[in-house]
Amino acid sequence: MIDSLSSLLSRLAGSDFLIALQEAAPGAADGEPSPGMFGNPLIMFALMGLIFWFVLIAPERKNRKRHQEMLGGLKKGDLVMTTSGMYGKVVEVKDDVIVLQASEGVRLRFARAAVQSTLEDGDGGKGKDKSASTEDATNESKA
């Protein structure tokens, strides 16, 4: 089977069959290449770039902006969860350092960027994010 395919390909390559197919393509008589699906490959690259932007880049920028606003709005008394999974109450906020009280008498210093999310006051450390709860509340009010 493989021998028959290779012999067929060698005969086709040696013949004028491929040249005849290329000449029979639309636009070949004018000396112009035949247009692709969208006519110009640049249109395809632009379309892929737009899809890439709307699917990956724009949502990530939105999330990053929301996270920066949350970090800028940290204040004493907020319940937070750090990126390492520790829960605590903010007791002091400095420039880039926050002090969390994990339990009575236990205070830990973290970089402000280590805060992943703020929690609701009555959450009890269950990890429900404030932003998720506001979205849930708006969805419930619409229903």
What does the pLDDT average to over 12-17? 57
What does the pLDDT average to over 60-84? 95
- Examine the pLDDT at 39 and tell me if it is beyond 80: no
Owning domain of residue 46: 18-25+32-72
Instruction: Give the strands of the sheet with 97-103, arranged side by side.
Output: 106-111, 97-103, 87-93, 79-82, 115-119
Nearest to 119 by CA among 111, 102, 107, 131: 131
Domain presence at residue 117: yes
Percentage of residues in the chain with pLDDT exceeding 70? 57
- Examine the pLDDT at 126 and tell me if it is beyond 60: no
State residue 133's pLDDT score.
Answer: 44
Q: What angle do CA 74, 111, 72 make, to 5 degrees?
A: 25
Looking at the structure, do residues 49 and 88 belong to the same domain, yes or no? Answer: no
pLDDT in tens, 19-37: 555 555 555 455 565 565 6
Kindly report the backbone phi and psi dihedral angles of residue 4, in degrees, each rounded to the nearest multiple of 5, phi listed first. Answer: -70, -35
Domain count, the chain: 2
Who has greater pLDDT, 73 or 11?
Answer: 73
Looking at the structure, do residues 110 and 97 belong to the same domain, yes or no? Answer: yes
